[in-house]
Amino acid sequence: MTDAALLQVRGLDVTYRRSRLRGGDVDAVRGVDLTVGRGETVGLVGESGSGKSTIGSAVLGLVPATGGRVAFDGADITQRTRADRRLLARRMQVVFQDPYGSMNPAHTVEDILAEALRYNLGLPAQEIRERVLRALDDVGLPPGAARRYPASFSGGQRQRIAIARALVMEPEFLVCDEAVSALDLSVQAQVLNLLARLKRTRGLSYLFISHDLSVVRYLSDTIVVLYAGRVVERGPAARVAETPQHPYTRALLAAAPVPDPVVQRRRRAERRLAPASIPTAGRSSEGCAFASRCPFAQDACRTRVPDLVDRDGVAVACRRRDEIDALAGAAIGAARTDRDA
Ligand code: ADP
Ligand code: MG
């Protein structure tokens, strides 16, 4: 089944069980569909608590799916055995935000990179050494880095080590969960460039997770926007990031800084339309989860969860999709008139 997408997530639900005392069960992810084609980068964006890491964890088999299906290279991997896990570790790897937390400070970089190769693949020492050096070279670190300890590197270099640790397994698929979020802007750009280059040279596919729309835009072919555990918009990266249709994606874009003062003014006005507040975690609600923050919500929005409807390649879950442009324009115009009066 080589023509199957590399990763297919269908109707994924993840509920975290929690006692009533601690607030009750949390529906972290609801009915999520997501496909990553070979060589494709799918960006998953949404604010903190929207369920991004939960989706990544379910794909990696770190949290169980409560419902739905995860398939990799055409094979259902929703219920993974220990043997599946080992096989999959060669093919899918992960890079997290804080690599330092997962690196034993008493181990050299070589040991850290070699660990999974020894444990999972049982390769001969010479091949392990070659793979480690190749991976370091691939992420722009000198061979001498192999003998040093994690503490002697900068944050950006440690993130390169984390990427190298994923690469030694020679995976096809990488989950990056906020992999550049802790880095300064200039270092962030370098690591993003590195990931883009690895995509070309190693033919990698990514599920690239970030709360930052501009970061996701830089690397992604497709963007999936998550709000309160559900996909609210999905489509080609340029279209979702530049002409978003869902009111939530519009709010995300409005929150991003822009150099153009005219655009900046329009976004500031649009930003005022949507109050920033984070939805409380718990059981999923009846209607659209964004309704309480949405400047365009009507009663009907609060009674039924809107379907994710694909039109011309962009899927949007908003029953007022067609009216938003006109409504936003009128609201911004009115806000400006109020201020100028
Ligand atoms: P994101 O990565 O987008 O910030 P997460 O996937 O981490 O979001 O979290 C989604 C929701 O699930 C949040 O409401 C969060 O509080 C909750 N959650 C995450 N992990 C757990 C857990 N282990 N137990 C209970 N709730 C959790
Ligand atoms: Mg997260």
Q: List, for residues 216-247, the tens digit of each pLDDT value.
A: 999 999 999 999 999 999 999 999 999 999 99
Pocket perturbation via mutation, ligand 1, pick of 12, 13, 15, 16 by most ligand atoms within 8 A of CB = 16
Q: Which residue has the higher pLDDT, 166 or 341?
A: 166
H-helix segments, 176-283: 185-202, 213-219, 237-242, 247-255, 261-273
Contacts 24+ apart (CB under 8 A), 86-92: 86/120, 88/61, 89/116, 89/120, 89/169, 90/120, 90/121, 90/169, 90/170, 90/171, 91/171, 91/172, 91/173, 92/59, 92/60, 92/171, 92/172, 92/173, 92/174, 92/175
For residue 150, pLDDT beyond 90: yes
The whole-angstrom separation of Cα 280 and Cα 95 is 28
pLDDT tier, 307 (very low <50, low <70, confident <90, very high otherwise) = very high
Q: What is the pLDDT of residue 259?
A: 65
Q: Contact at 8 Å (CB) between 167 and 202?
A: yes
| Residue ranges per structural domain of the chain | 101-170, 239-340
Q: Which atom of ligand 1 is nearest to the CA of 211?
A: 3
Distance 57 CA to ligand 2 centre (A): 10
Q: Say which ligand is closest to the CA of 50.
A: 1
Q: Is 28 in the pocket of ligand 1 (CB under 6 A)?
A: yes
* Ligand 1 mean position, distance from CA 53 (Å): 7
Asked if residue 78 has pLDDT above 50, the reply is: yes
Pocket lining: 281 vs ligand 1, CB cutoff 6 Å: yes
48 C-alpha to center of ligand 2: Å? Answer: 6
pLDDT of residue 269: 74
Ligand 1 pocket mutation pick from 26, 29, 175 by most atoms within 8 angstroms of CB: 26
The predicted pLDDT at position 330 comes to 79
What pLDDT, on the 0 to 100 scale, is given for residue 173?
A: 98
Give me the chain's average pLDDT, please. 90
**Candidate from 9, 17, 22, 53 with most ligand 1 atoms within 8 A of CB, to mutate:** 53
Between 28-42, 91-105, 126-140, 191-205, the lowest mean confidence (pLDDT) is in 91-105
Read off the DSSP letter of residue 291: T
Span 318-322, average pLDDT: 95
Mean pLDDT over 258-269 rounds to 72
Dump pLDDT digits (tens) for 167-183. 999 999 999 999 999 89
Of 233, 335, 247, 338, which is closest to residue 298 (Cα–Cα)?
247
pLDDT of residue 273: 65
* DSSP symbol at 306: P
> Residues near 16 by Cβ (< 8 Å), separated by ≥ 6?
25, 26, 28, 63
What average pLDDT score do residues 51-59 get? 97
Q: How far is the CA of 15 from the centre of ligand 1 (A)?
A: 10
Q: Is the CB of 134 under 6 A from ligand 1?
A: no
The answer on pLDDT for 154 being more than 90 is yes
Q: Cα(126) to centroid of ligand 1, in Å?
A: 42
Please answer whether residues 65 and 58 qualify as being in contact, where contact means their C-beta atoms are separated by less than 8 angstroms.
yes
Supply the DSSP symbol for 118: I
Task: Please compute the mean of the pLDDT values over residues 133-158 and round it to a whole number.
Answer: 96
Mean pLDDT for the stretch of residues 152-162:
94
How sure is the predictor about 1, in pLDDT bands with cuts at 50, 70 and 90? Answer: very low
- Which residue's alpha carbon is nearest to atom 26 within ligand 1? 16
Average pLDDT, stretch 297-315? 94
What percent of the chain is modeled with pLDDT above 70? 91
